Amino acid sequence: MPSFSGSMVAVITPMRGGISPDASIDWSRFERLLDFHVANGTDAIVAVGTTGESATLSAEEHCEAIRRVVAHIDGRIPVIAGTGANSTTEAIHLTERARHAGADACLLVTPYYNKPTQEGLYQHHKVIAEAVDIPQILYNVPGRTACDMLPDTIARLAQIGNIIGVKEATGEVDRVAQLRAGCGDDFVLLSGDDATGREFMMAGGDGVISVTANVAPETMRELCRAALGGDGKLAQEIDDVLDAARQDVI
């Protein structure tokens, strides 16, 4: 299994046609964007996450985008496919399609709008993990979903073999210690909040799935290397440089 750490981009999905019912994915620009990230040292691509239009693409566009990203990257860096949904059945379908396309892992957001209980969250992700044999990363972003998957629930899910990590986007850095204690050293802890990503890594996280990396991939890679290497002073200096970019993209 590939290593999932460092600077991972929640890559946009380039569209043509502007604001139009006929707008479609611009595949040639997408391929150039992927090459740009590989050239600039991005450690992994997250395809069709929420930044990549997962909420607005059709199901077939969603699956085709994942297939094309995997094919174009061709093993140069890992590809994590966004396959979450508020329907368990839909999430299983998307996750199976991503597995068939050759994705290295899948990222599954907590069910949005439904506001499930903690037991409901556990059962939702357990069923998907048991249905599709591919590494799966949980995605907790309560500011978008109105649903907060608590550290105790994540720790329960970490006992399932192919649930390998979590993208934690609460911005609560103190959760890193809770998650590490509950999930173990091998469980991948990724920040999904660019503004606190540096602190997340300095507290023991493994990397960032970043929006800012769309416009500053090389600098984000440098930030991750500094933070993961324990160089807090350098990481702070780089983070200060990235603040301006964040104002433009977040």
Give the active site residues. Answer: 139, 167
Q: What is the CB neighbour count within 10 angstroms for residue 8?
A: 31
Contact 201, 207 (CB under 8 A): yes
Q: What is the CB neighbour count within 10 angstroms for residue 131?
A: 14
- Torsion, Cα 89 12 74 197, to 10 degrees, reads -90
Helices and strands, counts by H and E, the chain = 10, 10
H or E, element range at 140:
strand 136-140
Q: What does the alpha-carbon distance between residue 241 and residue 247 come to, in Å, rounded to a whole number?
A: 11
The sign of the CA dihedral 189, 224, 171, 10 is negative
